Amino acid sequence: MTHPGSRKRLLATCAAGALLAAGTAYVVTQASPALAATNASVWLTTPDRANQLTRKADVAFGTAGSGSTITVNPNTTYQSMVGFGASFTDSSANLIYNSSARNTVMNALFNPSSGIGLSFLRQPLGASDFSLNFYTYDDGAADPNLTRFSVAHDQAYILPLLTQARSLNPSLSTMVVPWSAPAWMKTNNNLVGGSLSTSYEATFANYLVKSVQAYQAAGVPVQYLSVQNEPQFSPPGYPGMLMSPSQQAAIINNLAPKLSAAGLGTKILAWDHNWDNTSFPQQVLAATGNNTAGTAWHCYGGDPSGQSTVRNAYPNKDIFFTECSGVESGNTFADSLLWQGRNLAIGATRNWAKTVTTWNLALNPSHGPVIGSCTNCMGVVTVNGGSITYNAEYYVLGHLAKFVKPGAVRIESTGYGQGGIENVAFRNPDGSIVLVAVNSGGAQNFQVSFGGSSFGYNLPGGSMATFTWPGGPVTPTSQPPVTSQPPATSIDPSKWYQVINTNSGKCLDDAGWGTANGTALQQWTCGAAAATNQQWQFRPTSNGYYQVVNRFAPNLVWDVNGGAGATGDGAQVHLWGYGGGTNQQWLPASLSGGAFRFTARNSAKCLDVRDVSTADGGLLQQWACTGGVAQSFRLVAVG
């Protein structure tokens, strides 16, 4: 982390407009939904701690209200969400693992029912400032073949907690990032300071591949990776490693094909540093192309609008918010609730972030253990033996994670600046609506409008609230186009088919006529004459399952990203060479009207058009089978 004290100063310097998203939304051609809800459920946290994610009385739609109006519009959509969480630093993991309240706090953190259901973890590879000692996975003399590589340190207490977290919340996604390469790879032969020797760039890429493989072998699939924490900061007292944009790009371009060759679906994120530098990430994105999935961001400089600056320049690259530590202050709970509510829960997500991630999951009452860094940082919880204190971070994350599920999509809501009811809204995969609101002024009345009806509410100053209600079905304004051939009612393995989503009327498509592993599976307007990149053959494997092969790129099949262990909602379905994995086998089931749904063998989850999209370029994912239109497909034989 960089200069945590600067986080507090941002409250005074951040322009209110920076918390409102810049850029283009996705306007989905849909009718306004009929209001399915009569009441909205309400959860409230107040700065005096009298309410701490407390369920309040429901509020009825159709009741009179006053004040400013937040109009929630589910027909305009932005980014899909991956998750919300923090980090099991070495210090955090050691505290929780050795606490007599371990199971209690793990349930409070990760259980979606009895806890807040955290759904994203960002894990240091080796030591950070919040460690009991300094280490990497290959310490000692130079070892260019990595024969000494071992994650034994993490197996003691970090990996057991990661696997426990995954068991409590199977939708959990994991990101990893090193603070430093092993000292022998660096220009100064020291974990503190220096940079990576250019002669060891390929070896460092191998080190990262082995790290991902070791975690996966331990039962922790890694969905995301950045190659260096805070590459433009050289901490004087703990591991760090300066890295230029050109070197980061070189490492990524070396690493990406190695991850692919190892059969790993891990996506690489650039930057992983502060909001105030938008040049570095753009240079890396320009130099790495499809090898980089997006950028990662911290809160210790600038404001959230930096995310939108980069996203607007690279609209096909994702934004992840990956670190921010709260600090002790004169009124720590109230200050952190307001600052993090405004800048992270609202600001980061309204500027395209797919994740909101704080820093330490746990610290002790002395704000440690820590080496050479922040002495007043706060964890999500404070652990003092068997005594657990739940801090403002817990409630800020809880107002999101407990209600906004992985795969949810941010939707349009009327934005207000500092002093008003700042807010962000989401639609979950089941259609339910979530509105998260922060009152950055005094106690005030406001109204929420949805689907032609509204309710009023009074929110105390400095408070945070989450409102949820059933959103009802979203119905297309027109029927999908009729094809020249009737849909198939059974599957003939000798034929090639268009696979058409019944909601959008668009064909599943090998994006960009790709032939490489990791090519996106997308929906696209069906060609007048069936294009071969939109033709699919179902080849039997066993017990009714099929591999689904593309005609243009017959080496590629539908594949759940992350391998057989990728069972969580939201895992992308892309294209990959067939290796017989259960994540590459699909079970068709007939639906009414001649449609089919397709279930992945590894997860028993359905092929699903992300965000119920009707747009060209909509991506495919796996999701718990709901019977919804995003999971319904027609087959049209083309030869």
Tokens of 621: 């994912």
pLDDT for 400: 98
Question: Beta-carbon neighbour count of residue 83 at 10 Å?
Answer: 30
In whole angstroms, give the CA distance from residue 281 to residue 273.
9
**Torsion angle in degrees (nearest 10) through CA of 287, 289, 293, 299:** 30
Residue 303 backbone dihedrals phi, psi, to 5 degrees: -145, 170
Q: Give the integer Cα–Cα distance in Å for 634 and 488.
A: 7
Q: With beta carbons less than 8 A apart as the criterion, state whether 437 and 459 touch.
A: yes
pLDDT, tens only, 570-584: 899 999 988 888 999
- What is the arithmetic mean of pLDDT over 441-462? 96
181-238 residue pLDDT tens: 999 999 999 999 999 999 999 999 999 999 999 999 999 999 999 999 999 999 999 9
Q: At what angle do helices 90-97 and 102-110 cross, to 10 degrees?
A: 120
| pLDDT at 162 > cutoff 70 | yes
Assign 303 a pLDDT band (cuts: 50, 70, 90): very high
Res 4: pLDDT: 52
Residue with more model confidence, 143 or 472: 143
Distance CA 34, CA 453 (A): 10
Angstrom distance (rounded) from CA 449 to CA 35: 11
Provide the pLDDT confidence category of residue 125 given band limits of 50, 70 and 90. very high
- Residue pair 76/29 in contact by the 8 Å Cβ criterion: no
Cα gap 214→413, rounded to integer Å: 43
CA R_g for the chain:
24
pLDDT tens, residue by residue, 505-553: 899 998 878 888 888 899 988 875 668 889 999 999 988 899 999 998 8
Alpha-carbon separation of residue 297 from 178, 222, 241, 354 (angstroms): 15, 19, 17, 11
Contact 216, 583 (CB under 8 A): no
The answer to whether 246 touches 296, Cβ cutoff 8 Å, is: no
pLDDT confidence band for 20 (50 / 70 / 90): low
Average pLDDT over residues 403-420: 94
Other beta carbons within 10 angstroms of residue 484's beta carbon come to 8
> Does the active-site annotation cover 201?
no
Annotated catalytic residue 230: yes
Task: Tell me what pLDDT residue 529 has.
Answer: 62
Contact between residue 396 and residue 336 where contact means Cβ atoms under 8 Å apart: yes
> In the structure encoding, which two tokens stand for residue 77, read together?
């959509």
With a cut of 70, say whether residue 59 has pLDDT above it: yes
Q: What percent of the chain has pLDDT over 90?
A: 76
Give the pLDDT band (50/70/90) at residue 33.
very low
Over residues 257-269, the pLDDT tens digits come to 999 899 888 999 9
User: Is 476's pLDDT higher than 70?
Assistant: no
Q: What is the mean pLDDT of residues 165-180?
A: 96
Locate 373 and state its tokens. Answer: 């860094």
The confidence score (pLDDT) of residue 18 equals 53
Instruction: Give all strands (DSSP E) within 391-479, no chain letters.
Output: 409-413, 421-427, 433-439, 444-450, 453-459, 464-469
Under 8 Å between Cβ of 106 and 383: no
What's the average model confidence in pLDDT over 436-465? 97
Q: Which residues contact 272 (CB under 8 A, 6 or more apart)?
A: 177, 226, 228, 229, 230, 231, 295, 296, 297, 298, 322, 323
| pLDDT score for 37 | 59
- Residue 72: pLDDT above 80? yes
State the Cα–Cα distance between residues 190 and 178, nearest whole angstrom. 14
Distance CA 552, CA 272 (A): 37
Q: How does pLDDT run across 567-618, given as a tens digit for each residue? A: 988 899 999 988 888 999 999 998 877 889 999 999 999 999 998 888 888 8
> DSSP letters along 69-114, please?
EEEEEEEEEEEEP-EEEEE--HHHHHHHHTSTTHHHHHHHHH-TTT
Query: Can you give the pLDDT at residue 485?
Result: 45
**Can you say how many angstroms the Cα of residue 423 is from the centroid of all Cα atoms in its chain?**
19
- Please report which confidence band the pLDDT of residue 98 belongs to, taking 50, 70 and 90 as the band edges: very high
> Tokens for 302?
């600038």
Give me the pLDDT at residue 473, please.
42
What are the beta bridge partners of residue 77? 26, 411
**66, pLDDT greater than 90:** yes
Total residues found in the chain within this entry? 639
Give the DSSP letter of residue 523.
Answer: E
Helix residue ranges per DSSP H, 102-225: 102-110, 152-168, 201-217
Give the separation between CA 208 and CA 358, rounded to whole angstroms: 23
562 three-class SS: coil
Cβ–Cβ contacts within 10 Å for residue 287, how many?
A: 17
Q: Which residues of 301-323 are buried (b: 16+ CB within 10 A; e: fewer)?
A: bbbbbbbbbbbeebeebbbbbbb
Q: What is the mean pLDDT of residues 369-386?
A: 97
Taking all residues of the chain, what is their mean pLDDT, rounded to a whole number? Answer: 90
Q: Residue 490's pLDDT is what?
A: 80
The pLDDT of 423-443, averaged and rounded, is 95
The residue type found at 410 is R
Question: Does the structure show a pLDDT above 50 at 15?
Answer: no
Residue 35 above 80 pLDDT?
no
Looking at residue 17, its pLDDT comes to: 45
Q: Which of 201, 323, 393, 422 is catalytic?
A: 323
Residue 371 has pLDDT above 80, yes or no: yes
Domains of the chain: 31-78+421-469 (2.60.40.1180), 81-408 (3.20.20.80), 497-637 (2.80.10.50)
Report the DSSP pairing between strands 596-600 and 556-560: unpaired
Instruction: Give 444's contacts (C-beta < 8 A, 6+ positions apart).
Output: 67, 68, 420, 421, 458, 459, 461
pLDDT for position 475 = 34
Q: Render 410-435 in DSSP notation, one character per residue.
A: EEEE----TTSEEEEEEE-TTS-EEE
Are 444 and 69 within 8 A, CB to CB? Answer: no
Locate tokens 């990576």: which residue?
196
369 upstream amide cis, omega within 30 of 0: yes
Residue 42: Cβ within 10 Å count: 21
pLDDT score recorded for residue 481: 35
List the Cα angle 15/16/20 in 5-degree steps. Answer: 115
Q: What pLDDT, on a 0 to 100 scale, did the predictor assign at position 7? A: 39
pLDDT value of position 25: 52
Q: What is the pLDDT of residue 195?
A: 98
Distances (CA, A) of 496 to 486, 635, 639: 14, 9, 5
Query: For 327-353, how does the pLDDT look when each residue is reduced to its tens digit (9 = 90+)?
Result: 999 999 999 999 999 999 999 999 999
Q: What predicted TM-score, i.e. pTM, was given to this entire model? A: 0.76
pLDDT bin (cut points 50, 70, 90) of residue 629 is confident
Q: Exactly one of 230, 328, 393, 422 is catalytic; name it.
A: 230
